[in-house]
Each structure stands twice: as structure tokens, then as C-alpha cells.
Amino acid sequence: MEKKINYTEAIAEIEEIISEIENEEISIDILSEKVKRVSFLIKICRDKLYKTEEEVSEILNGLKNEDLPA
């Protein structure tokens, strides 16, 4: 079972694959696999960004609702 990949690792792998494609280091035989992998990694990143945005919004809304001294 593959370990859970975090945002930073996903971005690094995406950048590595893009570099390999740009430098023509990937054979046509595995190009489809690499594109599928990038698609999967993008989904991980997008999900993490949405989750983080929601968490930050909840934190900020909690601060707005607290009685803070002026």
C-alpha cells in the first residue's frame, strides 16, 4: 500500500514529471501512465487546498464571533 502523499510531495512529483516530459525523457510507452499520475497528484493538491481554505475560513469566522477587546 502506498503511503499517503502530502501536498509538498505531490507538487514536487508533478514538477519532476513535467520536467521529464519537457526534456523528452519519457518514452511514449509510459507517457499515458505519467499523465494519469499527474492527474491523480493534481486531485490530491486540489483537495488539500480546498480543505485548507475551509479550515482557515472556519478559524477566521471563529475569531470574528469572539468578543475581542477593542
Residues 28-67 have pLDDT tens digits of 899 999 999 999 999 999 999 999 999 999 998 888 777 6
d(CA 60, CA 68): 13
Torsion of CA 57, 58, 59, 63, to 10 degrees: 100
User: Domain extents for the chain?
Assistant: 31-63
Instruction: Please compute Rg for the chain using Cα positions.
Output: 19
Cut 0.85: pTM above it: no
Longest dimension (CA), the chain: 65
